[in-house]
Structure 1
Amino acid sequence: MTSLRTRLSRLSLTALLLVGLALPTGAQEGALGVNEQLKLLGLLTNARVSPTGSYMAGQQALKDLRTDEAARYMAAAAQADWDNPLLVERAFIAQAADGQIAEAAKTARRLLELETGNELAQMISATEALKERRYTAAEQQFAEISVETFSGVTAAILRAWALIGLDRKDEADALLQEIGATGLDDFLIFHRALMAEAAGETKSAIRLAGQAFENEPNVARVTQVYASMLANAGQFDEAADVIAQFESQGLTHPLVTEVKQAVEEERRPGIFTANVQIGAAEMFHGLGVALARDGSPDIALVFLRLGLYLDPKADVIAVAVGEVLDRVGQAEAANRIYESIPNESPMKPAAVVRFAHNLDVLGDGEEALRRLGNIVATRPDDLDAVFTYAELLRFDEQYEKAAEAYTKALELTGGNRNGDWAIYYTRGMSYERAKQWPKAEADFKRALELNPGQPEVLNYLGYSWIDMDMNLEPALDMIEQAVEARPQDGYIIDSLGWAFYKLGRIEDAVTTLEQAVTLLPNDPELNDHLGDAYWQAGRRLEAKFQWTIAADVDEVGNVRERVAAKLANGLSQDVASQ
């Protein structure tokens, strides 16, 4: 059977709506026009201490979100030319992304001296005032940011928090009502609940938190806060019902579990919004997570760092910072965050699992498996740990053990949640690689029952059938559905081309496989398939050229071994199965 390794995606079980803030930072390509770049380089050349190298290194580091290096390089460049707003701007952004908020605020103030109106600089400076309980200064600075922009809406909510600090809740309510009139009322309900709690208005806080939960019953933070408020008011049965509703969706979260334990013991978990800083930090937390999901990791990181600055004990925000760093490939930096989580924190187990996973990313798969194996042995009910362990076993090609671990994960979830399709799918891949096809086929079908039309599953099952010369017409239908959902996925396009090839539709196979190779020009499997199609179409020289490419780019050796005979003898005129 043709190798399917290139088709395996690393799935995760951990899996609003705001447009990202466009920042002129080095984290975005093309941020500076040619003339602006030349102007900047001219300024650098005339600087007393040439910061050109620091600037260029900082630009690349910021783009990669190597924030510690970016902050160091950009600070050096800015210090060498403290009157250059472009350098100062990049320095404060890099410092903020690295969590150096006090330094970023100082640099931001310098930027505002040079160039008024930079909204992010204003926000960071005002956030420093909020942290230091200088609420009057914070309120005034946030008020200077126009509410017409994304950053302005954010600033307005933070301004409301400053008003709470000044005991001017009526003004805070009026401000949020004004913002809510623009269509953001549902988004603001949760923060109105937190503000009411901070102001000691318990009944109002519970009512608003209930509305927020009704809107988003699957959000762990909303569930945690609402259940906590109910339990603090002695309404333990109602709190238990809220948690049960959350868990009935197959959802779990360490912070919800912590509240659940308190509720079961009829113990008040304690006020969530103990001060203005915690409430404002939650604003940055929510937006940071949303921006990360929206594909803006640089801005998300700045917001999450601001949240952690306001509430250093918010371990859930620290883990979110680590997850953003994970997504951009900064495993070492993420692991430093995970290591910093206190052992007594409810978030520590999740941090330990992510730390172990990153050891595999960093090349120490053996140690990663050892640590995760220990975690699973001591915490067999930890779904995150069990699933991650299964994933690493699969990546390590220990397919039978991986399937056993996925089975344990399904035992924990019950196997009937919509989201369980991912576990059936990955267990199916493990069974397929372990040459237990009947079990694999059953899992793929179950995954499609839970998530009909899922393109990865459709492609995997369809391609497997085609590769085994079985169910060719149903397989073609499946793959065509997958192509419709993912028209730019080279692997799925390849599957469609290979289906045409197996069905003897050589002209269609050639056209489709050419498209796949255009999308993924250096994949040996795809080049090999196109070579076969060319040969059957009578295009012998082009076939040998594609087989040669397949052999050259094959790093594993399987395809190279396969095409050697083809390069020597070609194929028969009949469509060949592999």
Structure 2
Amino acid sequence: MVTFLGRLPAVAVVIAALSGCVPQSGTRQDASDRDIAVLSAEPGLGAYLAGRFAQSHGDTRSAAEFLSIAARRDPENIDLQQRAFALLVAEGRMDEAAAIAERLLIIDNDSALPSMLMGARDFRDGRYAAAEKRFSVLPKKGINGFLGPLLTAWAKAGQGDINGAVALLAPSPETASFAPIYDFHAGLIEELGGRLDQAETRFKAALAAQTSVRTVETVGAFYQRHDRMEAARALYLRYRLEHNDRALFDGDRQFALGAAAPAVVNTPTEGLAEAMFDTASLLRQGAAHDLALVFSRMALALRPNFPMAHILVADTLGHQRRLEEANDIYRAIPKSSQVSGFARLRLAVNLDELGRSDDAVSELSALAAERPDSHDPLMALGDIFRRHKRYAEAADAYDRALARVDTKDPRNWTLLYARGIALERSKQWNRAERDFLEALRLKPDQPDVLNYLGYTWVDQGLNVEQGRKLIERAVELRPNDGAIVDSLGWALYRMGEFQAAVRHLERAAELKAEDPTINEHLGDALWQVGRYDEARYQWSRAMSLDPEPDQIDGLKARISTGQLPAQASK
């Protein structure tokens, strides 16, 4: 998931307050146009049931279609109207949603989401006072207690009341957990009102909480526009030290714009869109994907040219397995945008998941050529090659990625680890071992590296005692990781401690039951302690779990003979 905001720790409060508005998604199963056409002609119950089924499977597009049909057939059913409304907003069908919102507000004039949507439409049309009236009557608890003052502040800013707007965002015990967002928006409002010193004070307070992408981009550009170039440079350096990538934000690229660096918010309407986006980002962080889509769509209704909100929508659609739709959004983001690189990375990952690996490789290769100072495209390329077991090509991609970074920087242990795996799988153990050891030097006690190196040593009969110690440490750090517990069991097996091996391998099989290697290992250990029928069962189970090609012959031999091959029993 992409983390865009990071200004607020109290995500759980937000999600709890919104629970029940839009159920969370699961695995998506699209309804066909034929299904929709058939159910349109059926009584409302059929459309309702189809809509609820689609919604429970994460298909908000079909759910919106079905439930809007049901809502038209049963206009007095408030629960149905509310569901249809939220889903239509999530799908960006704002005119249809607005028609339902108006009906809902007749029944309950402070209904939260309908009030926000209609207030946003007032805002878009310049009716700031009308929007303020809608926002000011939002309930004062939960998410609305946070959003009410924020949205109302932007409505006051639209009317030129900067003092009134900022006063709503003043620190208080009730809103202390929301202070970073309030400071950020107060800074935007102060700058819009020409009060630069006050804007900088609020921006600094927001930065003190966390250097999120949006805050750094906003404050850095503020510094650049107001001849504070060294402050901007220092901020971008701080961001780079804390975030070892340039996919979402490239400080060097923005710094090159000099005093022409654009403001993130230039109008009150853009400010309101920013508030909707911030809310969506928080919800996305907390895995409230459908609600994140609702607020992202409202942000885009206010500000159609909003690349960060487009990214968030596409990311959420990707989570719903709507990869083609997500890719259409990623492709539409202009290359001039700061988030273009991230969009193209996500596009490539989705292409690979759609079975279009060659297209994914082409996209990443082109991006790597266009951005010679970024290692992200090459790392993603290596990951794709590794996923498809093209290990030599993966190692080459990681080689090129590492040539673009400081290999002594502790943040780059992940690249060394990834290359180590590719090298080990492509039978280049000496290089792989060096990478694992260097990764551990940069990131001591990293469980994955401890496990991989320790397991490989033990499996090859090299440094067996040292390998066992590495794995034991990894198990201490991550006791419920089935793969790591398996490594310890296998180390004990290789050292002839079969009873102890069985205990750990049984635990590993409980933790990661669908892993063929773990089941094979358990079968071998069971055979060694005389539990032959159980051993054969585990080997048969491993065979049913899509084992690696080099495991198949050995498993077949074990199953057919009921015993270990001679070389495996030693």
TM-score, normalization by structure 2? 0.87
1:260 matches 2:255: yes
Q: 1:549 to 1:124 in 2, by over 3 A?
A: same
1:157 matches 2:117: no
1:236 to 229, 236, 239: 229
Identity of aligned residues (%): 32
Which residue in the other structure is 1:126 paired with?
119
Find the residue that maps to 1:412 and give its secondary structure.
Answer: coil
Whole-angstrom distance in 2 between the partners of 1:256 and 1:104:
39
1:110 matches 2:103: yes
1:417 matches 2:413: no
Aligned-residue offset at 1:339: 2.0
Which residue in the other structure is 1:177 paired with?
170
Aligned-residue offset at 1:163: 1.3
Aligned-residue offset at 1:176: 1.3
Aligned-residue offset at 1:75: 1.3
Q: Is the 8 A contact 1:197 1:273 kept in 2?
A: no
Whole-angstrom distance in 2 between the partners of 1:339 and 1:472:
50
Whole-angstrom distance in 2 between the partners of 1:364 and 1:29:
25
Q: Is the 8 A contact 2:50 2:63 kept in 1?
A: yes
Find the residue that maps to 1:553 and give its secondary structure.
Answer: coil
Q: 1:474 to 1:556 in 2, by over 3 A?
A: closer
Which residue in the other structure is 1:35 paired with?
none
Which residue in the other structure is 1:24 paired with?
20
Which residue in the other structure is 1:51 paired with?
44
Q: 1:575 to 1:561 in 2, by over 3 A?
A: closer
Aligned-residue offset at 1:260: 0.9
Q: 1:112 to 1:473 in 2, by over 3 A?
A: farther
Which residue in the other structure is 1:449 paired with?
441
Aligned-residue offset at 1:318: 0.8
Q: 1:271 to 1:449 in 2, by over 3 A?
A: same
Aligned-residue offset at 1:547: 1.0
1:188 to 164, 182, 191: 182
Deviation digits for residues 58-87 of structure 1, max 9, x if unmatched? 334334443322222221221221221222
Q: 1:11 to 1:544 in 2, by over 3 A?
A: farther
Which residue in the other structure is 1:204 paired with?
198
Q: How many residues align?
A: 548
Q: Is the 8 A contact 1:85 1:115 kept in 2?
A: no
1:290 matches 2:282: yes
TM-score, normalization by structure 1? 0.86
Deviation digits for residues 305-339 of structure 1, max 9, x if unmatched? 22222221111221122223334433212102112
Whole-angstrom distance in 2 between the partners of 1:399 and 1:406:
10
Whole-angstrom distance in 2 between the partners of 1:418 and 1:180:
39
Find the residue that maps to 2:257 and give its secondary structure.
Answer: helix
Gaps of 5+ in 1: 1-9, 31-46
Output aligned runs, 1:95-494, within 5 Å.
95-114=88-107, 118-177=111-170, 179=172, 182-184=175-177, 185-216=179-210, 218-249=211-242, 250-252=244-246, 253-254=248-249, 256-263=251-258, 267-494=259-486
Which residue in the other structure is 1:75 paired with?
68
Counterpart amino acid of residue 232 in structure 2: A
Deviation digits for residues 481-503 of structure 1, max 9, x if unmatched? 43344443332232232233223
1:545 matches 2:537: yes
Which residue in the other structure is 2:522 paired with?
530
Q: 1:60 to 1:467 in 2, by over 3 A?
A: farther
Whole-angstrom distance in 2 between the partners of 1:87 and 1:11:
32
Q: Is the 8 A contact 1:315 1:347 kept in 2?
A: yes
Q: Is the 8 A contact 2:183 2:203 kept in 1?
A: yes
Find the residue that maps to 2:514 and give its secondary structure.
Answer: coil
Whole-angstrom distance in 2 between the partners of 1:434 and 1:572:
27
Whole-angstrom distance in 2 between the partners of 1:417 and 1:320:
30
Deviation digits for residues 339-394 of structure 1, max 9, x if unmatched? 22234434334323322221111011122212322332343333332221221122
Counterpart amino acid of residue 138 in structure 2: I
| RMSD, matched Cα | 3.0
Gaps of 5+ in 2: 27-39
Deviation digits for residues 396-418 of structure 1, max 9, x if unmatched? 32222222221222232312334
Aligned-residue offset at 1:261: 1.2
